[in-house]
Structure formats: structure tokens, C-alpha cells
């Protein structure tokens, strides 16, 4: 939603990230643009989600790089990927089919970990659980997928 605030990143955080239950970040050849407090908006969003206890899944493309790749962005992305190895596990994908399978596997894992089955028992059949999957792409080869439960607070 177009609004004015302290920064565009603050709007992204409040409108997209804060309401998400699961965060999935996809990387191509760029890390993203710097913010006031982080090397990139993408990294700021990931750190904010991790700090709030949300499941965060990172996937890095192994596809052939574009001929006009920004080498500074690529270097930053590689440094971030290396740093990520010290903190946890990440996934890689070579094509959209592989990525689709990996993302759905992560979502299924998180949905079972969030124990939504117990919540479903408390909700009548007339009011089924509905999930909203919101895709977000920043136009720089980075994509996000936010999954939220619209029928109850998780």
C-alpha cells in the first residue's frame, strides 16, 4: 500500500513482514539495496523475522548468472551466503520446478510445526482455516512468499 513513513523499508516491514507467519527468501544474483540499519532490505527483513521467532527459509539459485550481473551485488550475496552457513541451513535450486518442490516442503514442515491441527479443532467446519499466500518480488531478482493464517491469530 503506498504510504509515507520514516522509510520504505519500515513500510515493507509493517505491511508484509510483521503479519507473516512464515518467511521464505529467494536469491538470484543480488543481495538488495542497503537500508539505514542493514546491508540490505532483504537482510533486515530476514533478521527481523528470525528475531521474532518466525520460521525463515533461504534459497539460493544455482542457475547460470545473467551476462550483466552486478558483481558488487553478487559479492555481497556470496558473503551473506557464507555467513548464513555459520547460523543454519539454506537450500539451493536450479530451476523453478525444484524451487516449487522445496518451498512447498518448507511450508508443509512449518504448518505442522506451528501446530495448526490443534487450532483447527477449535474452529467450526463452517469457518475453515484459510491461508493467504502473498508473493512479493522486489524487481532485483529477489522474491518473497508470505504465508498467513486469515482465520485466527498464530
- 125 vs 35, higher pLDDT: 35
Q: How far apart are CA 29 and CA 78, in angstroms?
A: 9
Q: pLDDT per residue over 11-30, tens digit each?
A: 888 888 888 889 999 999 99
Q: How far apart are CA 145 and CA 134, in angstroms?
A: 6
Q: pLDDT per residue over 54-109, tens digit each?
A: 999 999 999 999 999 999 999 999 999 999 999 999 999 999 999 999 999 999 99
The pLDDT assigned to 142 comes to 54
Residue 132's SS3 state is strand
Report strand pairing: 131-137 vs 22-27.
unpaired
Mean pLDDT value across residues 105-117: 81
| Cell, residue 73 | 551485488
pTM flag (> 0.75): no
Q: How far apart are CA 93 and CA 27, in angstroms?
A: 10
Amino acid at each position: 500500500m503506498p504510504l509515507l513513513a520514516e522509510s520504505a523499508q519500515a513500510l515493507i516491514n509493517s505491511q508484509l513482514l510483521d503479519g507473516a507467519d512464515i518467511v521464505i527468501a529467494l536469491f538470484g544474483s543480488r543481495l538488495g539495496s542497503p537500508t539505514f540499519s542493514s546491508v540490505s532490505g532483504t537482510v533486515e527483513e530476514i533478521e527481523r523475522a528470525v528475531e521474532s521467532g518466525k520460521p525463515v527459509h533461504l534459497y539460493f539459485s544455482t542457475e547460470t548468472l545473467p551476462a550483466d550481473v552486478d558483481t558488487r551485488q553478487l559479492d555481497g550475496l556470496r558473503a551473506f551466503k557464507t555467513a548464513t552457513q555459520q547460523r543454519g541451513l539454506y537450500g539451493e535450486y536450479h530451476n523453478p520446478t525444484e524451487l516449487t518442490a522445496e518451498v512447498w516442503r518448507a511450508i508443509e514442515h512449518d504448518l505442522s510445526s506451528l501446530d495448526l491441527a490443534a487450532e483447527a479443532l477449535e474452529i467450526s467446519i463452517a469457518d475453515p482455516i484459510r491461508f493467504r499466500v502473498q508473493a512479493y518480488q522486489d524487481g532485483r531478482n529477489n522474491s518473497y512468499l508470505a504465508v498467513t493464517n486469515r482465520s485466527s491469530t498464530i
